[in-house]
Structure 1
């Protein structure tokens, strides 16, 4: 049984609906979903704010490549277009960590290389897994991350999965 941490984000169109499409599309595998957060874009800053969340999934016979493929399928279904690095997008599904696996393959870097410094990943992850550990970096709670500019959106609740 593999277990993965996915970071999801959207800043174009119906941002919340795109996040919900991930929970719906992975519903048989979802074991936890964080609250939704809103953050300003970084990288290319002249773009709309993002909605972000973390989804923890688990499934038999699904390895890190399987989680990557599923994430990309959901991105494609949401009309994701890759025009500019860190540019606006309908949906972004990043594989943050899978069972402590490390990978330096150019198509699948694990753990996700920017996760250790991104409040958009770490803050929601800690909401659903306070004892989370990022391989190669240690306990997520010990990583220096600023909550500045990260706004929890309690009015937006991702649904359609069952807590175990």
Structure 2
């Protein structure tokens, strides 16, 4: 009797992604990003945060911008982190993202906040995201869904958010009148 070849299941990764945008149909662009992620083979959205509205982070001499809508998404994926980043960039491009000015206005931004408990200083993908611990627009929506989570290398998100003075102190306002859905 011949044995079937042993095939190992692909390793899955848990990841936290932050999405945001301030150009065009802000909520529509966030929803399109969620839909595109949900349509990605080997990726499952496991949770989705409420929507927050925040003032843009601006360089001192930057042009004024509209406020951002932001949300945070939990996923499980068989994609390795570099392939997840490639997928995020492809979705951004499909939704009209233009990368001309750092912290400039954008239709959509998809940041990988963390993948499992990986730590990486790679120039293409730094993990965890190097500024996530200082961003209420990441911590507050994440905390709303998973207050017990820990940002790798930085600590519990509840403590990080409290250290910022909470969402309101950082200009992040929950928008209960807006909702993203998993289709």
TM-score band w.r.t. shorter chain: over 0.9
- Paired residue secondary structure (2:102): coil
**1:48 counterpart residue number:** 66
Once the two structures are superposed, the pairs formed by residues 68-87 of structure 1 within 5 Å of their partners are 68-87=85-104
What is the rounded CA distance, in whole Å, between the counterparts of 1:69 and 1:130 in structure 2?
29
Does structure 1 residue 106 correspond to structure 2 residue 128? no
Does structure 1 residue 95 correspond to structure 2 residue 106? no
**2:181 counterpart residue number:** 159
**2:21 counterpart residue number:** 10
Does structure 1 residue 150 correspond to structure 2 residue 163? no
Does structure 1 residue 129 correspond to structure 2 residue 149? no
What is the rounded CA distance, in whole Å, between the counterparts of 2:47 and 2:145 in structure 1?
6
Question: Paired residues, what number?
Answer: 160
What is the rounded CA distance, in whole Å, between the counterparts of 1:88 and 1:152 in structure 2?
20
TM-score (norm. length: structure 1): 0.93
What is the rounded CA distance, in whole Å, between the counterparts of 1:133 and 1:36 in structure 2?
20
Q: What is the aligned-residue RMSD (CA, Å)?
A: 1.2
Unaligned runs of 5+ in 1: none
Runs of 4+ more than 4 Å apart: none
TM-score (norm. length: structure 2): 0.84
What is the rounded CA distance, in whole Å, between the counterparts of 2:83 and 2:16 in structure 1?
13
- Paired residue secondary structure (2:71): strand
User: Which one is further off, 34-43 or 138-147?
Assistant: 138-147
Unaligned runs of 5+ in 2: 1-11
How much has 1:138 moved relative to structure 2? 1.1
Larger radius of gyration: 2
Pick from 15, 25, 29: which aligns with 2:36? 25
What is the rounded CA distance, in whole Å, between the counterparts of 2:91 and 2:124 in structure 1?
17
What is the rounded CA distance, in whole Å, between the counterparts of 2:22 and 2:179 in structure 1?
17
How much has 1:155 moved relative to structure 2? 1.1
